[in-house]
């Protein structure tokens, strides 16, 4: 395996989540008590784009027309361009603990619900919901062990979801979802549960072909940059569920970068 050496691009965050390379910058949700949507360029210049209404702001993506979407409290919110949000889709009948979102090339929105309020309730399996361009919302997958990052293959035919509690990547055929897919068909995925903070590059079948050990937990990663070969990692110190309050206060969150072998592919 090839060991990579990351560098810090940005620090002073709470916990960075849902990184997306868009319009020449890395966009992400700065998760915490007052969530915000931020950007950072490759020179480290950062900007706050919007303040997410509590408890929204956990995951972001864009509609084909360029409208920014954010997951919220039983809703998908759409950014209006003036700093405010409106309800794009009401998902309260399907769940409340909405997490990751990804939009395919046809405008279909996939969003997952972890199934329970993390750190407050016992574990329950989660689901994936689909919101079609005409606004119909329905459950399309269930019994998922903490659904987390999602990607869609370039041909819009397959949704891949990270099941964090099962430590597995599960693929679903799409009929006419903090992981990232590269042009060689491999997936970069954080691995917190191993006991050593690291990010691994996995081929189909689970073979780890690259592994990067970090000095803090990685919560999500994304390939981007001008050539699509910069791996961005959202890292922060993780002290367990019982000390999440300390996590918010410590502001140990950072954006780390490293050069990758293969470029970004698929969505997001």
Counting Cβ atoms within 10 Å, is residue 120 exposed (0-12), middle (13-18) or buried (19+)? exposed
Count of CB atoms situated within 10 Å of the CB of 5: 7
Number of H helices, E strands in the chain: 1, 24
pLDDT in tens, the chain (268 residues): 456 689 999 999 999 999 999 999 999 999 875 678 999 999 999 999 988 766 655 799 999 999 999 998 789 999 987 878 899 999 999 998 899 999 999 999 999 999 998 878 899 999 999 999 988 999 999 999 999 999 999 999 999 999 999 989 999 998 764 789 999 999 999 986 667 889 999 998 889 999 999 999 999 999 999 999 999 999 998 877 766 667 677 889 999 999 999 999 999 9
Q: What is the pLDDT of residue 42?
A: 97
Q: Tokens 């206060």 belong to which residue?
A: 249
Q: What is the pLDDT of residue 191?
A: 80
- DSSP-derived letter for residue 243 is G
CA 178 – CA 200 distance, rounded (Å)? 12
Given a contact cutoff of 8 angstroms between Cβ atoms, the answer to whether 175 and 156 are in contact is: no
- DSSP-derived letter for residue 241 is G
How far the first Cα of the chain sits from its last, in Å, is 26
- In sequence order, the 6+-apart residues with CB closer than 8 A to the CB of 229 are 223, 259, 260, 261, 262, 263, 264
Alpha-carbon Rg for the chain in angstroms:
17
Given a contact cutoff of 8 angstroms between Cβ atoms, the answer to whether 113 and 125 are in contact is: no
Q: What is the pLDDT of residue 158?
A: 95
Strand order in the sheet with 36-40: 15-22, 25-31, 36-40, 46-51
Closest CA to 159 of 224, 112, 114: 112
H or E element at residue 250:
helix 244-250
H or E element at residue 245:
helix 244-250
Topology (CATH level 3) of domain 7-265: Neuraminidase (2.120.10)
CA angle 217, 218, 220 (to 5 degrees): 155
211-246 core/surface letters (b: 16 or more CB in 10 A; e: else): bbebebbbbbbbbbbeeebbbbbbbbbbeeeeeeee
């Amino acid at each position: 395996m090839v060991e990579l050496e990351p560098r810090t691009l940005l620090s002073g965050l709470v916990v960075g989540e849902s990184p997306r390379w868009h319009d020449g910058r890395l966009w992400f949700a700065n998760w915490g008590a007052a969530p915000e949507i931020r950007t950072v360029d490759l020179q480290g210049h950062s900007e706050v784009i919007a303040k997410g209404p509590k408890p929204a702001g956990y995951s972001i993506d864009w509609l084909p027309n360029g409208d920014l979407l954010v997951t919220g409290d039983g809703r998908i919110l759409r950014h209006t361009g003036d700093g405010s949000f409106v309800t794009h889709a009401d998902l309260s009948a399907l769940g409340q603990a909405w997490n990751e979102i990804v939009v395919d090339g046809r405008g279909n929105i996939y969003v997952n619900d972890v199934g329970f309020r993390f750190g407050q309730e016992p574990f329950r399996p989660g689901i994936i919901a689909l919101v079609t361009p005409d606004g119909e919302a329905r459950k399309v997958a269930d019994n998922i062990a903490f659904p987390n990052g999602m990607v869609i293959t370039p041909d819009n035919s397959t949704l891949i979801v990270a099941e964090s509690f099962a430590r597995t990547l599960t693929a679903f055929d799409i009929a006419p979802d903090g992981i990232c897919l590269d042009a060689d068909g491999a997936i970069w995925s954080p691995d917190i549960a191993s006991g050593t903070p690291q990010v691994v590059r996995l081929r189909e079948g689970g073979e780890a072909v690259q592994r990067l050990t970090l000095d803090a937990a990685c919560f999500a990663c994304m390939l981007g940059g001008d050539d699509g070969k910069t791996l961005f990692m959202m890292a922060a110190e993780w002290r367990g569920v019982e000390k999440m309050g300390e996590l918010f206060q410590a502001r140990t969150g950072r954006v780390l970068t490293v050069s990758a072998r293969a470029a970004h592919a698929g969505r997001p």
